[in-house]
Amino acid sequence: MGDFWSGVGVDLHLEPEAGDGRRVGLERALRDAVRDGRLAPGTRLPATRRLAGELGISRGTAKAAYDQLVAEGYLTARQGSGTQVAQLPSTDTEAPDAAAHARAPRFDLRPGSPDVGAFPAAAWLRALRRAIATAPLLAYDYGDPRGRIELRTALSGYLGRARGVIAPPERIVITSGYVQGLALLTRVLDGADISMEDPGLPFHREVVRRNGGSVVPVGVDERGVCPEQLGEAAAVVVTPAHQYPTGVTLHPTRRRALTDWARARGALIIEDDYDGEFRYDRQPVGALQGMAPGQVIYLGTASKTLGPALRLGWMVLPPHLVDAVADAKLHSDHHTETIGQLALAELIESHAYDRHVRACRLRYRRRRDQLLDRLGNRRGVRGIAAGLHALVEVGDEAEVLARAEAEGLAVGRLGDHWHAPGEGRPQGLVVGYGTPRERVYPEALAVLGKVLGDGDS
């Protein structure tokens, strides 16, 4: 019996009630499982011989139950395809998928996402195959909370040459993304005051608060974050390469002032290298971490270069924080999944990652240029030197957004990014040009131009 159970091809959990007979009990158990959704449409059921052996009934009883449910429309049976769960008529007035589709915008110019259709599937598959073929057996076991040494070594070289980061492998911790990195750091700082850019991403502020930190706003102007406003904070979170949402790059004098502040106070700078790889009009600006590796915690991810679905990010830490962050990571989720780490390491080492980033940079520059061709001559468009979004100045956010909604266009709103509402704040749309597919992007821009209209110039 043990050999039979280990060889059953499809696991099917059923508990037939024997009170009305075995066939009726099996019919009821299968019928209830289909109605409840535990057996989804299209699920292939075990052959009658296997099901009979598993439940300890005759094959004739199993076949009779299948035949009855086929007759009732709960199952389908075709020669060569076996027996499957049928698609039942929906009893809902509107199916969930239909409701979600109805809510989806016709054109999505919201910021924060890349063109996921550009994911390098072929290159990733090759890297994955090579990684699995050469992975040691222990790679499939529980691992170092800091992450696989293969990826930390590959990132050490890549971040040094591409972003100017001083990143020895022993000071890198792999995470499931920026949000986990920020949450881990907040816990390690244990309730400290953390300054965050104003305007900035509300979700990141909430991550800090939910992990025990206190958020203190610090202003941003045309030169980036204002170090003179930092005061007594234990740390500050900054986006120096391409500030979100204003799009400004931290000015060299501000970079020096910021690192001087951190050294003088023994404070920390948490550098979110947002859009760091995508710069269009001049040489990329190196990461802030290279100026003060003892005070700067560098956070990066593969979310914008490859795709958010991978859930792979990294932290480069000052030496005194490595053990504390690794311990917090251990007690958060033990370690980030391994197979993706190995594949990304292979992608970086083979330079396929560099080739993909360069291709994306060209694609997104073309999109940026199309946005400027559509709007640049008529209104203020800021933050265009880098990244995947731009800030478009408008006179009345609410009015423009109402027109956008009527046209099925989704964009970001600058007003949502302030720490607190206030009179006289600048108004604008945060327009992302990474999300749309190539074929729909020109039409999305045409709708944006129509929504903005000449009256808002």
Task: Read off the pLDDT of each residue in 59-63 and give the average, rounded to a whole number.
Answer: 91
Q: What is the pLDDT of residues 178-234, one digit of tens each?
A: 999 999 999 999 989 999 999 999 999 999 999 999 999 999 999 999 999 998 899
**Mean pLDDT, the chain, as a whole number?**
90
C-alpha dihedral (238, 239, 241, 243), degrees to nearest 10: -120
pLDDT greater than 90 at residue 451: yes
- pLDDT above 90 as % of the chain: 68
Q: What is the pLDDT of residues 125-165, one digit of tens each?
A: 999 999 999 999 999 999 999 999 999 999 999 999 999 99
How many distinct helices (H) and strands (E) make up the chain?
A: 15, 15
Please name the helix (run of DSSP H) or strand (run of DSSP E) that holds residue 155, with its range, or none: helix 149-163
Task: Read off the pLDDT of each residue in 292-307 and give the average, rounded to a whole number.
Answer: 96
Could you check whether the bond before residue 168 is cis, i.e. omega within 30 degrees of 0? no
The pTM score is 0.84
State whether CATH 3.40.640.10 applies to domain 119-354. yes
Task: Read off the pLDDT of each residue in 278-298 and give the average, rounded to a whole number.
Answer: 90
Predicted local distance difference test score (pLDDT) of residue 18: 67
In this structure, are residues 432 and 111 in contact, taking their beta carbons and an 8 Å threshold? yes
pLDDT greater than 60 at residue 93: no
Predicted local distance difference test score (pLDDT) of residue 1: 40
Crossing angle of the two packed helices 59-72 and 48-55, in degrees rounded to 10: 120
Please name which of 279, 277, 239, 276 lies closest in space to residue 384, comparing C-alpha atoms.
279
Q: What is the pLDDT of residues 330-378, one digit of tens each?
A: 999 999 999 999 999 999 999 999 999 999 999 999 999 999 998 876 6
Flag the least confident range among 72-76, 206-210, 413-417: 72-76
H helices of 59-120, in order, are 59-72, 96-103
In this structure, are residues 301 and 177 in contact, taking their beta carbons and an 8 Å threshold? yes
DSSP assignment string, 201-253:
-HHHHHHHHHTT-EEEEEEEETTEE-GGG-TT-SEEEE--SS-TTT-PPPPHH
Predicted local distance difference test score (pLDDT) of residue 457: 41
pLDDT greater than 60 at residue 97: no
pLDDT greater than 70 at residue 6: no
Q: What is the pLDDT of residues 16-35, one digit of tens each?
A: 876 668 888 888 899 998 98
User: Could you tell me the pLDDT band of residue 79, with boundaries at 50, 70 and 90?
Assistant: confident
The sheet carrying 381-382 orders its strands as 107-109, 409-413, 428-432, 389-393, 381-382
pLDDT greater than 70 at residue 403: yes
For the domain spanning 107-116+358-456, the CATH number is 3.90.1150.10
Predicted local distance difference test score (pLDDT) of residue 3: 44
Q: How far apart are CA 194 and CA 199, in angstroms?
A: 15
State whether CATH 1.10.10.10 applies to domain 19-85. yes
Boundaries of every domain in the chain: 19-85, 107-116+358-456, 119-354
Flag the least confident range among 67-71, 215-219, 233-237, 404-408: 67-71
Predicted local distance difference test score (pLDDT) of residue 456: 46
Task: Read off the pLDDT of each residue in 76-89 and give the average, rounded to a whole number.
Answer: 85
